[in-house]
Amino acid sequence: MSVHNPDIKRITTHVIQELKNKGEKISALTAYDYSMARIVDGAGVEIILVGDSASNVMAGHETTLPITLDQMIYHAASVVRAVKRALVVVDLPFGSYQGNSSEALRSAIRIMKEAGAHAVKMEGGLEIRESIIRVLSAGVPVMGHLGLTPQSIYKFGTYAVRAKEESEAQKLIDDAKMLEEIGCFSVVLEKIPAALTKKVSESITIPTIGIGAGPDADGQILVLHDLLGITKEFKPRFLRRYADLHDIMSDAIGNYVNDVKAQEFPNENEAY
């Protein structure tokens, strides 16, 4: 059972801003396909992110780098077909916006046009300012993403907490202010110290959405398969599992195999 407000018929970027303004926390989750997105949307999540974590979760890659724009569009279109209420944000994948601002705009337009998305997410601060401005100028809402930005994993070398040092923390604050100033509607803060999240969330007016960033972000996001306990081996400190679907699914499938072998499935009621 969820406590979402069913009076809000359709979540827009304006509704997301209003939630921060009135101090109500924002819930966000990833989804990559039609069936899961229907469940997530029906449960009252306000933002559904078609994350490039699909590269890990759906395709089994080690990083988010291999997923292509065409593959993101396929996932996003499936999610959009399922969603009636949530705001659907789609990641611009690695290599689809870093080259120059025209490339960024082309990629964002493909996502909006071909998938029917409501907004895009782009990783980075000052380095990609021009690309974000170009996308925004076409009327496409942009969610920023600072802190641990997985598309830069080979630069970082590790998935450890970011911005523990003063200089990186200050750059993150400056980047967050810049994202607000150019018109992003929100910003994801990934794996940074909780105190820094509080400081950023208090110093910008747009909502911050945290993952591994403590309780003071204006909203929280998790990867759906982690929350559901499907990805059993992934156990970061920030993750709370709300179910153990890995074992539930594994038991159900094991029981099916046993029934088939024992010729107990199908029975006469399950046959024509």
- Residues classed as catalytic: 190
Residue 221 binding ligand KIV, by CB under 6 A: yes
* Binding region for ligand KIV (CB under 6 A) out of 45-53, 70-78, 105-113, 171-179: 45-53
- Cα–Cα distances in angstroms (integers) from residue 99 to residues 44, 94, 131, in the given order: 37, 10, 9
Residue 53 binding ligand KIV, by CB under 6 A: yes
214 and 198 in contact (C-beta within 8 Å)?
A: yes
Q: How far is the CB of 44 from ligand KIV (least distance, A)?
A: 19
Nearer to ligand KIV, 6 or 60 (CB): 60
Q: How far is the CB of 244 from ligand KIV (least distance, A)?
A: 21
As given in the structure block, the two tokens for residue 163 are 């911005």
Nearer to ligand KIV, 19 or 48 (CB): 48
73, 176, 211, 230: which one binds ligand KIV (CB under 6 A) = 211
User: How far apart are alpha carbons 44 and 28 in whole angstroms?
Assistant: 10
Residue 46 binding ligand KIV, by CB under 6 A: no
Residue 72 binding ligand KIV, by CB under 6 A: no
Residue 218 binding ligand KIV, by CB under 6 A: no
C-alpha torsion angle, residues 89, 95, 97, 102 (rounded to 10): -130
Residue 223 binding ligand KIV, by CB under 6 A: yes
User: How far apart are alpha carbons 3 and 31 in whole angstroms?
Assistant: 20
Q: How far is the CB of 250 from ligand KIV (least distance, A)?
A: 24
233 and 244 in contact (C-beta within 8 Å)?
A: no
29, 37, 48, 52: which one binds ligand KIV (CB under 6 A) = 52
User: How far apart are alpha carbons 197 and 187 in whole angstroms?
Assistant: 11
90 and 145 in contact (C-beta within 8 Å)?
A: no
Determine how many CB atoms are found less than 10 A away from the CB of residue 137.
12
Q: How far is the CB of 213 from ligand KIV (least distance, A)?
A: 10
Of 27, 47, 56, the residue nearest 159 (C-alpha):
56
Q: Which residues bind ligand KIV (CB under 6 A)?
A: 30, 49, 51-53, 91, 188, 190, 211, 221, 223
